[in-house]
Structure 1
Amino acid sequence: MAVAIILLLVAVGSVLFHIYSPWWWTPIATNWSYIDHTISITFWITGVVFFAVIAFMAYCVFRFHHKEGRQAHYNPENKKLEWWLSIGTAIGVAAMLAPGLFVWHQFVTVPADATEIEVMGQQWQWSFRLPGKDGRMGTTDVRYISPENPMGVNRDDKHGQDDVVIESGELHLPVGKPVKVLLRSVDVLHDFYVPEFRAKMDMVPGMVTYFWMTPIRTGTFDVLCAELCGSAHAQMRTKVIVDEQSEYDAWLAQQKTFAELSGRNAVTKATYRSGGK
């Protein structure tokens, strides 16, 4: 009897702790409220199943506890029960998968008016590239990556000359504008993750992965790496700042283009080699 009561208390306490827990998601900052809804559906389905299983265990402990003279019956098959369990499991799994498939379709369907930006991950820093005045980013290749060209921008591509390159700095985005985030990695697996954005994706060397989002409120948000990437993984951080359009334009005007940075790096390198100051 005591064991059955303890099992029920564990089940009820676990569900209540989840409902009234002080630890919850950070306030959302993008259009991906669908992610929150999908997680909530999954929590409720798994919570109901969890409670049902524990309650059934408690019932069995109470109903079939040992009594002197009682003999257990051997019942190797129960087709009716198997059918009910199979159908119930199928419905539960479908109820969890269907919202996820719906959200995934939206997740990979990028709006036509989304602006492309690029995020580069490497041990242990973040770099960013934004389109310049022509609205297009130049092509890249890992063969072009060097200390003077950390993003591997193609120097022969005219569209890349006015690209804004931010190495180990903060990323700014305008509020209310859809953004397609192209993700690349120089060395190992990384994962660009901003908890408030509810959107993230692995960054795989040799591939360009992506997600898209629309920031819906201004603020400063922490960027984390959500993939164990080495000894300084926990320190691989920076900030994303979502601005009003006027503030974003003012910030963007102060940034250096790839052409400007390439010229400065070339001068610095030549001066170093000649021993000048």
Structure 2
Amino acid sequence: MAITIILVLLVLGSIAFHFISPWWFTPIASNWQSIDTTIEITFWVTGFVFVAVNLFLAYAVFRYRFNKDRKADYQPENKKLETWLTLFTTIGIVAMLAPGLYVWGQFVDVPADATEVEAVGQQWHWSFRLPGADGKLGEVDSRLVSDQNPFGINSADPAGQDDILIQRNELVLPLDKPVKVLLRSKDVLHNFAVPQFRVKMDLVPGMVTYLWFTPTREGSFDIMCEELCGVAHFAMRGKVRVTAETEYQQWLAAQPTFAQSQSRYAGDTSQGQALFQVCAACHGAVGEGNSQLNAPALAGQSRWYLKRQLQHYQQGIRGSSEGDVYGAQMVAMANMLRDERNLANVLSFIDSLPPPQPKARQGDLQRGRSLYRNCSYCHGSQAQGIYAMNAPALTSLDGAYLRRQLNYFKQGIRGSHKSDFYGAQMQLMAQSLHGEQDSAAVIAYIASLSADAAISDDATLRSAP
């Protein structure tokens, strides 16, 4: 009797939880209502089977409970029962498969007026490419990928010259316009998924996959990688921002083309040296850093990373959080380099400075080496920084500065701005260091790496525009 009651309560509890559960679909924001309908049909079919089987089991347990005066009747075959089971099973499977096949037929049939957008995945971030005025995307080749050509676009293909490049984790799309998203991976298996759009598809290295949808609601929606693509898989996030057509066109006009990215001003070292005198007051005459002024070393750091951080200060992404005293000081200094040519000149001069020698620090190097393994996936085995991962070099940075930044990430002082995608990833990774002893061990290990070992995998990384 007790088992019968438990089975009935299991059925009633499951039904109640299904309807009162807070874990339900996010509000849909695309044309794929039919996907929701298909899932709901699956819920009804499987739910009916779940209820029927468990209630029958409860009935059988109660009806045929042990009775010493009753003998079981063994029937090895029952054609009538098998016929009904086969019939009901067939109906259930057809009810689940048919709607899915119908929706899949729509899913692979892209509207002729859909705009093509390429989403490129790599550990652990997204970038995007849109066609220019010619409406065509240029040819790409993974062998052409470099710091100056991160998409691997074939410069000999005229169609690629006006391709619009979005080298950050946010894609903007117009409202109520169908979009075909071409999916390409630079390294391992990824997955492009936007829950509110009800779409997802794998990115398979060596081939191009696709999906399509029509955004039907303005707003900002998360892009997630729903494939285990490495140790920082959970941090591979992006955004799709859906706006009105006018705002979308304004955003599109402000994005650089491939041709523009290849013809950027490289900078003048002598002019940059004059401009750098203001920076030298804190960061040192040769960019060696000054721990007394809480200023990190600039020499030896990747040019692309320095440029991004200066732009983050200018845009309020860094230095605007409560508690970031030194970042707030940098905001005013960074605003002195808003002119693109002046910024290029200063970066050119910093690029010419010799990197400072790492300073050894006391700490548990064996433990630090073990903990640093997670960091090495982005920052490199020798903490040299990896452009493809958007991760800076660490060997030239003072231990006190590294400790402060790790604490900032843990406390949410850094990485909390909605546009700081890589900072948000570092917030998650910094939490893997449990306490000051772990941080000290990792910092000591980074400091133990020799300057010779801290050579970049790509000798041209620091010359990127």
Indicate whether 1:53 and 2:78 are aligned. Answer: no
Q: Secondary structure at the match of 2:223?
A: strand
CA distance in structure 2 between the partners assigned to 1:5 and 1:78 by the alignment: 29
Q: Secondary structure at the match of 1:44?
A: helix
Counterpart of 2:352, as a letter, is G
Residue 233 of structure 2 corresponds to which residue in structure 1?
233
Indicate whether 1:42 and 2:119 are aligned. Answer: no
Residue 125 of structure 2 corresponds to which residue in structure 1?
125
Indicate whether 1:275 and 2:352 are aligned. Answer: yes
Residue 251 of structure 2 corresponds to which residue in structure 1?
251
More helix by share: 2
Q: Which moved more, 1:248-257 or 1:12-21?
A: 12-21
Distance apart, 1:163 and its partner CA: 0.7
CA distance in structure 1 between the partners assigned to 2:166 and 2:82 by the alignment: 59
Higher relative contact order (CA 8 A, sep 6+): 1
Residue 113 of structure 2 corresponds to which residue in structure 1?
113
Q: Deviations over 1:3-39 (max 9, x none)?
A: 1122011112102211222221111111001110000
The structure-2 alpha-carbon separation of the partners of 1:123 and 1:199, relative to structure 1 and needing over 3 Å to count, comes to same
CA distance in structure 2 between the partners assigned to 1:50 and 1:266 by the alignment: 67
CA distance in structure 1 between the partners assigned to 2:180 and 2:146 by the alignment: 25
Q: Secondary structure at the match of 1:264?
A: coil
Residue 313 of structure 2 corresponds to which residue in structure 1?
none
Counterpart of 1:116, as a letter, is E
Aligned residues of 2:169 and 2:237 also touching (Cα < 8 A)? no
Indicate whether 1:155 and 2:232 are aligned. Answer: no
> How does the TM-score come out when normalised to structure 2?
0.57
Unmatched tracts of structure 2, length 5 or more: 268-302, 305-347, 354-462
Q: Secondary structure at the match of 1:231?
A: coil
Indicate whether 1:208 and 2:205 are aligned. Answer: no
Counterpart of 1:80, as a letter, is K
> How does the TM-score come out when normalised to structure 1?
0.95
Distance apart, 1:241 and its partner CA: 0.3
Counterpart of 2:138, as a letter, is G
Q: Secondary structure at the match of 1:91?
A: helix
Residue 224 of structure 1 corresponds to which residue in structure 2?
224
Distance apart, 1:262 and its partner CA: 2.0
Distance apart, 1:169 and its partner CA: 3.2
CA distance in structure 1 between the partners assigned to 2:86 and 2:19 by the alignment: 29
Residue 26 of structure 1 corresponds to which residue in structure 2?
26
CA distance in structure 2 between the partners assigned to 1:266 and 1:2 by the alignment: 80
Distance apart, 1:137 and its partner CA: 1.1
Counterpart of 1:19, as a letter, is F
Indicate whether 1:261 and 2:261 are aligned. Answer: yes
CA distance in structure 1 between the partners assigned to 2:23 and 2:232 by the alignment: 27
Matched positions, count = 277
The structure-2 alpha-carbon separation of the partners of 1:265 and 1:166, relative to structure 1 and needing over 3 Å to count, comes to farther
Residue 175 of structure 1 corresponds to which residue in structure 2?
175
Residue 74 of structure 1 corresponds to which residue in structure 2?
74
Q: Which moved more, 1:5-14 or 1:219-228?
A: 5-14
Q: Deviations over 1:201-224 (max 9, x none)?
A: 000000100010000011011111
Residue 62 of structure 2 corresponds to which residue in structure 1?
62
Aligned residues of 2:190 and 2:202 also touching (Cα < 8 A)? yes
Among all aligned residue pairs of Structure 1 and Structure 2, give the percentage whose two residues are the same amino acid.
60
Q: Deviations over 1:230-250 (max 9, x none)?
A: 011111112110010000011
Residue 13 of structure 1 corresponds to which residue in structure 2?
13
Residue 198 of structure 1 corresponds to which residue in structure 2?
198
Residue 452 of structure 2 corresponds to which residue in structure 1?
none
CA distance in structure 2 between the partners assigned to 1:104 and 1:169 by the alignment: 28
Distance apart, 1:69 and its partner CA: 2.1
Distance apart, 1:265 and its partner CA: 8.5
Aligned residues of 1:219 and 1:243 also touching (Cα < 8 A)? yes
Counterpart of 2:143, as a letter, is R
Q: Which moved more, 1:115-124 or 1:140-149?
A: 140-149
Q: Deviations over 1:28-84 (max 9, x none)?
A: 111001110000000000000000000110011000000122221211111111111
The structure-2 alpha-carbon separation of the partners of 1:166 and 1:110, relative to structure 1 and needing over 3 Å to count, comes to same
CA distance in structure 2 between the partners assigned to 1:145 and 1:76 by the alignment: 66
Q: Secondary structure at the match of 1:192?
A: strand
Q: Which moved more, 1:217-226 or 1:133-142?
A: 133-142
Q: Deviations over 1:161-184 (max 9, x none)?
A: 111111133100000100000000
Counterpart of 1:219, as a letter, is G
More strand by share: 1
CA distance in structure 2 between the partners assigned to 1:169 and 1:107 by the alignment: 25
Residue 359 of structure 2 corresponds to which residue in structure 1?
none
CA distance in structure 2 between the partners assigned to 1:121 and 1:142 by the alignment: 13
Aligned residues of 1:148 and 1:265 also touching (Cα < 8 A)? no
Residue 3 of structure 2 corresponds to which residue in structure 1?
3
- In our comparison, the structure showing a higher alpha carbon Rg is 2
CA distance in structure 1 between the partners assigned to 2:266 and 2:28 by the alignment: 43
CA distance in structure 1 between the partners assigned to 2:240 and 2:72 by the alignment: 64
CA distance in structure 2 between the partners assigned to 1:202 and 1:226 by the alignment: 8
Q: Secondary structure at the match of 2:166?
A: strand
The structure-2 alpha-carbon separation of the partners of 1:275 and 1:58, relative to structure 1 and needing over 3 Å to count, comes to same
